[in-house]
Amino acid sequence: MHAKKVIVVTDGDEYARKVLLSLSETLGGTCLAHLSANPTTASEHEILASIKSAKSEPVYVLFDDAGIPGIGPGEKLLEQIATNESVQIIGAIAVASHTKFREWSRFDFAIDGDGELVPFGVDKEGIPEMEVGRISGDTVYCLDQLSIPTIVAIGDIGKMRGKDDIKKGAPITRKAIELILERAEENEISE
């Protein structure tokens, strides 16, 4: 059985949905925009069936906890999807949030609001924080427990004070996807 290549995104709001749909059309792949919500309401079966029937890869799957503390509905589903043998997660876009619960995850790369790679986590606006190598967000906690080869931390998709606006081509989210795709290609070559 061929495992579908998936990029997970820890944001499911309207901005993220529109940006990922647009970028999937530009960069290639299939965005499961119809299943995104804030918080995630789709079932494991719905997501897996949509991944399986996706016409092109990677498949972009959006998960969101909507600020719910602890392991919320988005993270529960992400954990279930990640362990399914029909899915190969090639990367994750870890999106920052202003959650007071301060859940966090490690990352491989972070992109600030100016589109620069930085060693620090970033906040919702894409401004670097003081923590090296970790990002705070409401749907990122479980990323550390999963086997995800490349995690890219960014601010709030489609926003970041207009710097990631879809009218500008969402350059920060685009760069995150390009990093994941580049690393996935390198990983395939080295295997």
Q: What is the pLDDT of residues 111-161, one digit of tens each?
A: 999 999 999 999 999 999 988 888 888 788 889 889 999 999 999 999 999
pTM of the predicted model as reported, rounded to 2 decimal places: 0.95
Which residues have CB under 8 Å from 6's CB, separation 6+?
51, 58, 59, 60, 61, 81, 87, 88, 89, 90
How many domains is the chain built from? 1
pLDDT value, residue 99:
64
Q: Containing domain of residue 15, as a range? A: 4-190
The reported pLDDT for the residue numbered 71 is 84
Q: How far is CA 128 from the centre of its chain?
A: 18
The pLDDT of residue 102 is 65
Closest Cα partner for 23 from 13, 31, 15?
Answer: 31
Residue 39 has pLDDT above 60, yes or no: yes
